[in-house]
C-alpha cells in the first residue's frame, strides 16, 4: 500500500505539472469608480473616533444612529474632541442600497424622506459605508462591495480603518455568470415556476424583472450557488465555464493515469481558505487525492460531480471552510444528498460524494478510517428514500477514502455536451450502465424502473388526470423545456421525462387542475422519448367533417355555453364547426337576417 501511495503521489505531481488549471486570463468585468466619499454610521463616540483616523478620504459624513456605547468620561471627552469640525446627523436610516461607488442612503429629515448624500455632500451617492452600529444595514448574507460593518464587539476595527483608503480609485470585478433566458424556467404567461436561483443567492443580486431573471453583476459575489441550483443550465458560471472545467478534469485524470496513478479521488475546494488548507495539508494527503481549486466551492454542482464519478473517480470530496456562506452550505448539502440518493439507488456507495471539513482531512485519522472502511465500495446497499434529503447528516460522517478497492466505473469522461442537462444525463447514463445493482445478488436487488426522489428535485414525471384534461394545451404553451409537446394533428399530449425540470409551470397553467408532478429518476431510455400521456378522439366539423378539436373540449364548451344567449337555437351548432365553417355560417345567417346585426 505504501508503494502504491508513493506511486500515486508521483502521478499526482506529474499530472498537476502537465495539465494547468483553466484560469480565465481575460474574463469579462464590471467597473467601480470611487473618490473616497465615506459615510460612517453608529454611535457618536465611535463614528467620531473612526473619522479622526480617516483623514485621507475625499469627504466624511457622520450619521449617528444609536446611543453612545462607552459612558466613561475620559472616553467621551476624547471622542467628542475627535473630528470636532464634522457635524453628526442624528436620525434613522429609512433605506440603503447600492455598492462600491454608488451607495444611496435615505433618511427622515424634517418630516421628509431625503437622500443623505445630497443633503450632506451635495452628491448623488456615497462611495463607501463604514457601519459601526450593532446591526448590519444590509439583511443579505453577503453585503455589497464597499460596505464595511464593524460590530461593537468585533476586533477588526484597526484593520478596516487601515484598509478603507485603499478603496479609492478604479476597480474591476469579473462577471461571474451568463444567463440564457431562452431556457430559463422562471416564468411564462403570468405564471411563476422555478425560483431556485432567487432562493439561494446570498447577496440578493438576482431579481425577477418583468418575469425575467436578472443578475446584478455589481452585487454578485460569484458564490456560484445559482448556477449549481439552476436545473436547466440557464445560468452558467464563467470562471471557468463548466465545459472547460470538465475538459481540465478529463485531461488531469488522463495524465494521472498515464503516470501510473490509481483510484483517483478529487478534493474540490475554493481558491481562498480552501486553498490555504490544502497547501498546509497536501503533504499528508494520500497520493490519490487530487486537489481541484475552484473559484468558489458552490461553483461546481451535480453535473460536474457525476461526470467525474462516471469517468472513474473513486470519491469526490467537497472541502467546507468557515468562510463558506451558510446558504451555500445548505445548498451543497441538499445537492449532495440528492446525488447520494441517486448513487445509492444504483448500488454505489453514497460515501463516494461527501462534504468534509479540515478536521477530516487530517492525515492520521484518514489512514485509520481507510483501514476500517476499506470495503466501502463493495457495500452496494440501495437507499432510495425521499426522507434522506431531509434527514440529518449520517452519524458516521468521517472521511471514507477507499484506496484499495477498484471502482466499477470506466476511466473515461462521458460524452461532452454544452448543455448542463445533457452533461448530467450523459454521466447518469454511464453510471446506470455500469451500476453495481445490475449484478443482482441477495444483498443487491436489481435496478428498479425508477428511483423515488425527494420533493423539489428537478427530475420527474408529469401525470394527467384523463377525466379532467380537455387537451387545451395551456401546459404545452408554458413548458420552457419542451418536456410537454402536442400530438400535432392528433389531439394528444406527449411528455419527454428527461426534459422535465419539475418547475410547476404546467401545473399552475392548467385551468382544469389536471396535472400533478412526481419527482423521480426514470432509469430506462424511455426517459428520453416523447411518450403519449393523454389523447382524445378528434371532433369532426359537422359541416366539412374536418377534425378540429378534442372531443372533450367541444363537449365541455357545449355544456358551459348551452345557456348563453348567443348560442341559442341553431347557433349552438357553431360550436361543433371548425373555424372556417363557423365564420361562413355567421355571415350566411347575417345576410339572410340583416336585423341580427343590431344584436351583435
Ligand atoms: S431555470 Fe435557472 S435561471 Fe431560471 S429561475 Fe430557475 S434557477 Fe433561475
Ligand atoms: S412538464 Fe411542466 S414541470 Fe416539467 S418542465 Fe415542463 S412545465 Fe415544467
> In 468-578, which ranges are continuous DSSP H helix?
474-478, 505-509, 551-561
CB 184 near ligand 1, within 6 Å = yes
Bigger pLDDT: 109 vs 402: 109
CB 194 near ligand 1, within 6 Å = yes
Residue 160 sits in the same domain as residue 35: yes
Residue pair 520/503 in contact (Cβ under 8 Å)? The answer is no
What would you report as the CA-atom Rg of the chain, rounded to the nearest whole angstrom? 31
- Please tell me whether the peptide bond between 180 and the residue prior to it is cis, using omega within 30 degrees of 0: no
Decide: helix, strand or coil at residue 460: strand
For the chain, what's the residue count?
600
Number of the ligand 1 atom closest to the C-alpha atom of 230: 7
Instruction: Look up cell 371548425; give the residue.
Output: 578
Residue pair 137/149 in contact (Cβ under 8 Å)? The answer is yes
Residue pair 303/422 in contact (Cβ under 8 Å)? The answer is no
**What is the domain-level CATH number for residue 40?**
3.50.50.60
CB 213 near ligand 1, within 6 Å = yes
Decide: helix, strand or coil at residue 341: helix
User: What is the pLDDT confidence band of residue 439, given thresholds at 50, 70 and 90?
Assistant: low
The mean pLDDT of 206-224, rounded to a whole number, is: 96
Averaged confidence pLDDT in the chain: 88
Quickly count: other Cβ atoms within 10 Å of residue 169's Cβ.
11
Decide which of 226, 258, 287 is a domain's last residue.
226
Decide which of 385, 409, 438 is a domain's last residue.
438
Decide: helix, strand or coil at residue 338: helix
Residues with CB under 6 A from ligand 2: 185, 193, 462, 478-479, 481, 483-484, 500-506, 517
What count of Cα atoms within 13 Å lies in the side-chain half-sphere of residue 443?
Answer: 7
Residue 201 Cα to ligand 2 middle (Å): 23
Residue 459 Cα to ligand 1 middle (Å): 14
pLDDT for the residue 600? 59
Task: Among 186, 195, 212, name the best residue to mutate to test ligand 1's pocket (greatest count of ligand atoms within 8 A of Cβ).
Answer: 186
Residue 231 lies in a domain: no
Residue 221 sits in the same domain as residue 318: no
Residue 227 Cα to ligand 1 middle (Å): 8
- Cα separation, 284 vs 317, in Å, equals 16
Residue 384 sits in the same domain as residue 255: yes
Residue 448 lies in a domain: no
Residue 257 sits in the same domain as residue 356: yes
Residue 196 Cα to ligand 1 middle (Å): 6
Domain region containing 414: 2-23+240-438
What count of Cα atoms within 13 Å lies in the side-chain half-sphere of residue 526?
Answer: 13
User: What is the pLDDT confidence band of residue 24, given thresholds at 50, 70 and 90?
Assistant: low
Residue 12 lies in a domain: yes
- Cα separation, 397 vs 87, in Å, equals 56
Atom 4 of ligand 2: nearest residue by CA position: 500
Atom 2 of ligand 1: nearest residue by CA position: 230
The mean pLDDT of 557-569, rounded to a whole number, is: 80
Residue 232 lies in a domain: no
Number of the ligand 1 atom closest to the C-alpha atom of 186: 5
Residues 6+ apart with CB under 8 A from 105: 39, 63, 93, 95, 96, 115, 116, 117, 126, 129
Task: Among 196, 207, 212, name the best residue to mutate to test ligand 1's pocket (greatest count of ligand atoms within 8 A of Cβ).
Answer: 196
Atom 6 of ligand 2: nearest residue by CA position: 479
Number of the ligand 1 atom closest to the C-alpha atom of 198: 8
Residue 527 sits in the same domain as residue 547: no
Tell me: pLDDT of 376 over 90: no
Residue 23 Cα to ligand 1 middle (Å): 26
User: What is the pLDDT confidence band of residue 365, given thresholds at 50, 70 and 90?
Assistant: low
Number of the ligand 1 atom closest to the C-alpha atom of 179: 3
Number of the ligand 2 atom closest to the C-alpha atom of 481: 5
pLDDT above 90: percentage of residues in the chain: 68
Number of the ligand 2 atom closest to the C-alpha atom of 507: 2
- Cα separation, 50 vs 257, in Å, equals 57
* Residue among 304, 306, 383, 311 nearest 346 (CA): 383
Decide which of 535, 552, 569 is a domain's last residue.
535
Sheet with strand 147-149: strands edge to edge: 88-90, 59-66, 37-43, 128-131, 147-149
- Cα separation, 186 vs 504, in Å, equals 10
User: What is the pLDDT confidence band of residue 444, given thresholds at 50, 70 and 90?
Assistant: low
Residue 447 lies in a domain: no
Tell me: pLDDT of 218 over 70: yes
Residue pair 84/50 in contact (Cβ under 8 Å)? The answer is no
pLDDT for the residue 255? 96
Longest dimension (CA), the chain: 103
Reduced 3-state DSSP string for 387-415: HHHHCCCCCCCCCCCCCCCCCCCCCCCCC
Residue 324 lies in a domain: yes
- Ligand with an atom nearest the CA of residue 507: 2
**84-to-45, 52, 60, 265 alpha-carbon distances in Å:** 11, 9, 12, 61
Residues 6+ apart with CB under 8 A from 156: 150
**77-to-40, 64, 82, 83 alpha-carbon distances in Å:** 19, 17, 9, 12
Residue 302 sits in the same domain as residue 366: yes
**540-to-16, 143, 151, 486, 578 alpha-carbon distances in Å:** 69, 63, 75, 18, 8
Cell of 531: 411518450
Tell me: pLDDT of 484 over 70: yes
Atom 8 of ligand 2: nearest residue by CA position: 503
Residue 124 Cα to ligand 1 middle (Å): 34
Residue 546 lies in a domain: yes
- Ligand with an atom nearest the CA of residue 484: 2
Residue 113 sits in the same domain as residue 76: yes
**250-to-118, 247, 306, 318, 397 alpha-carbon distances in Å:** 56, 5, 13, 18, 29
Quickly count: other Cβ atoms within 10 Å of residue 533's Cβ.
18
Name the phi and psi angles at 169, rounded to 5.
Answer: 135, -155
- Cα separation, 73 vs 17, in Å, equals 63
Name the phi and psi angles at 498, rounded to 5.
Answer: -60, -25
CB 196 near ligand 1, within 6 Å = yes
**What is the domain-level CATH number for residue 186?**
3.30.70
Residue 166 sits in the same domain as residue 183: no
Residue 310 lies in a domain: yes
Residue 467 Cα to ligand 2 middle (Å): 20
**What is the domain-level CATH number for residue 480?**
3.30.70.20
Residues 6+ apart with CB under 8 A from 302: 228, 335, 338, 339, 424
Residue pair 146/193 in contact (Cβ under 8 Å)? The answer is no
Positive or negative: CA dihedral 260, 266, 272, 278: negative
pLDDT for the residue 422? 95
Q: How does pLDDT run across 112-159, given as a tens digit for each residue? A: 899 999 999 999 999 999 999 999 999 999 999 999 999 988 999 999
Residue 366 sits in the same domain as residue 393: yes
Q: How does pLDDT run across 67-83, given as a tens digit for each residue? A: 987 889 898 899 989 99
Residue 19 sits in the same domain as residue 118: no
pLDDT above 70: percentage of residues in the chain: 88
Measured in whole angstroms, how far is the alpha carbon of residue 48 from the centre of its chain? Answer: 43
Atom 6 of ligand 1: nearest residue by CA position: 194
Q: How many domains does the chain have?
A: 5
Residue 552 sits in the same domain as residue 531: no
Residue pair 346/521 in contact (Cβ under 8 Å)? The answer is no
The mean pLDDT of 246-262, rounded to a whole number, is: 95
Residue 73 sits in the same domain as residue 104: yes
- Cα separation, 89 vs 107, in Å, equals 10
Amino acid at each position: 500500500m505504501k508503494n502504491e501511495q508513493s506511486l500515486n503521489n508521483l502521478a499526482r505531481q506529474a499530472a498537476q505539472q502537465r495539465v494547468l488549471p483553466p484560469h480565465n486570463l481575460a474574463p469579462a468585468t464590471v467597473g467601480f469608480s470611487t473618490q473616497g466619499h465615506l459615510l460612517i454610521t453608529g454611535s457618536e463616540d465611535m463614528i467620531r473616533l473612526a473619522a479622526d483616523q480617516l483623514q485621507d478620504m475625499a469627504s466624511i459624513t457622520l450619521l449617528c444612529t444609536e446611543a453612545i456605547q462607552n459612558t466613561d468620561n475620559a472616553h467621551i471627552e476624547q471622542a467628542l474632541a475627535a473630528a470636532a469640525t464634522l457635524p453628526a446627523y442624528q436620525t434613522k436610516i429609512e433605506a440603503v442600497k447600492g455598492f462600491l461607488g454608488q451607495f444611496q442612503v435615505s433618511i427622515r429629515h424634517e418630516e421628509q424622506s431625503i437622500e443623505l448624500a445630497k443633503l450632506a455632500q451635495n452628491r448623488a451617492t456615497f462611495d463607501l459605508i463604514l457601519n459601526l452600529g450593532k446591526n448590519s444595514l444590509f439583511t443579505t448574507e453577503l453585503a455589497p462591495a464597499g460596505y464595511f460593518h464593524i460590530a461593537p464587539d468585533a476586533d477588526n476595527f484597526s484593520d478596516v480603518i487601515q484598509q478603507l483608503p485603499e478603496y479609492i480609485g478604479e476597480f474591476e470585478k469579473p462577471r461571474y455568470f451568463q444567463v440564457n433566458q431562452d431556457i430559463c424556467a422562471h416564468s411564462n404567461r403570468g405564471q411563476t415556476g422555478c425560483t431556485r436561483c432567487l432562493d439561494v443567492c446570498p447577496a440578493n443580486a438576482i431579481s425577477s424583472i418583468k418575469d425575467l431573471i436578472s443578475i446584478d453583476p455589481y452585487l454578485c459575489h460569484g458564490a456560484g450557488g445559482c448556477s449549481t441550483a439552476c436545473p436547466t443550465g440557464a445560468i452558467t458560471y464563467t470562471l471557468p465555464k463548466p465545459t472547460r472545467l470538465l475538459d481540465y478534469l478529463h485531461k488531469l485524470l488522463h495524465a494521472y493515469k498515464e503516470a501510473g496513478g490509481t483510484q483517483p479521488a478529487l478534493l474540490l475546494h475554493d481558491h481562498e481558505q480552501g486553498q490555504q488548507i490544502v497547501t498546509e495539508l497536501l503533504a499528508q494527503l494520500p497520493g490519490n487525492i487530487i486537489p481541484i481549486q475552484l473559484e468558489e466551492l458552490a461553483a461546481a454542482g451535480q453535473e460536474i460531480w457525476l461526470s467525474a464519478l462516471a469517468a472513474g473517480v473513486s470519491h469526490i470530496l467537497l472541502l467546507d471552510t468557515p468562510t463558506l456562506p451558510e446558504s451555500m452550505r445548505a445548498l451543497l448539502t441538499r445537492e449532495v444528498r440528492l446525488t447520494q440518493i441517486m448513487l445509492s439507488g444504483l448500488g454505489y456507495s453514497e460515501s463516494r460524494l461527501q462534504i468534509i471539513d479540515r478536521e477530516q482531512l487530517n492525515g492520521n485519522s484518514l489512514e485509520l478510517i481507510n483501514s476500517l472502511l476499506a470495503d466501502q465500495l463493495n457495500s452496494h446497499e440501495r437507499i432510495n428514500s425521499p426522507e434522506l434529503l431531509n434527514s440529518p447528516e449520517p452519524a458516521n460522517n468521517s472521511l471514507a477514502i477507499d484506496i484499495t478497492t477498484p471502482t466499477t466505473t470506466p476511466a473515461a469522461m462521458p460524452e461532452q455536451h454544452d448543455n448542463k442537462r445533457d452533461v448530467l444525463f450523459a454521466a447518469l447514463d454511464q453510471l446506470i450502465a455500469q451500476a453495481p445493482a445490475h449484478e443482482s445478488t441477495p444483498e443487491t436487488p436489481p435496478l428498479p424502473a425508477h428511483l423515488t426522489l425527494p420533493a423539489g428535485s428537478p427530475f420527474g414525471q408529469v401525470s394527467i388526470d384523463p377525466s379532467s384534461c380537455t387537451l387545451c394545451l395551456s401546459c404545452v404553451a408554458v413548458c420552457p423545456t419542451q418536456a410537454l409537446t402536442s400530438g400535432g394533428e392528433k389531439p394528444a399530449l406527449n411528455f419527454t421525462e428527461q426534459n422535465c425540470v419539475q418547475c410547476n409551470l404546467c401545473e399552475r397553467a392548467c385551468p382544469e387542475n389536471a396535472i400533478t408532478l412526481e419527482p423521480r429518476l426514470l432509469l430506462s431510455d424511455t426517459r428520453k422519448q416523447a411518450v403519449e400521456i393523454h389523447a382524445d378522439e378528434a371532433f369532426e366539423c359537422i359541416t366539412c367533417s374536418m377534425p378540429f378539436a378534442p372531443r372533450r373540449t367541444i363537449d365541455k364548451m357545449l355544456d358551459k355555453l348551452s345557456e348563453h344567449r348567443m348560442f341559442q337555437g341553431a347557433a349552438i351548432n357553431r360550436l361543433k364547426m371548425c373555424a372556417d365553417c363557423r365564420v361562413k355560417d355567421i355571415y350566411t345567417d347575417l345576410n339572410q337576417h340583416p336585423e341580427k346585426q343590431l344584436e351583435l
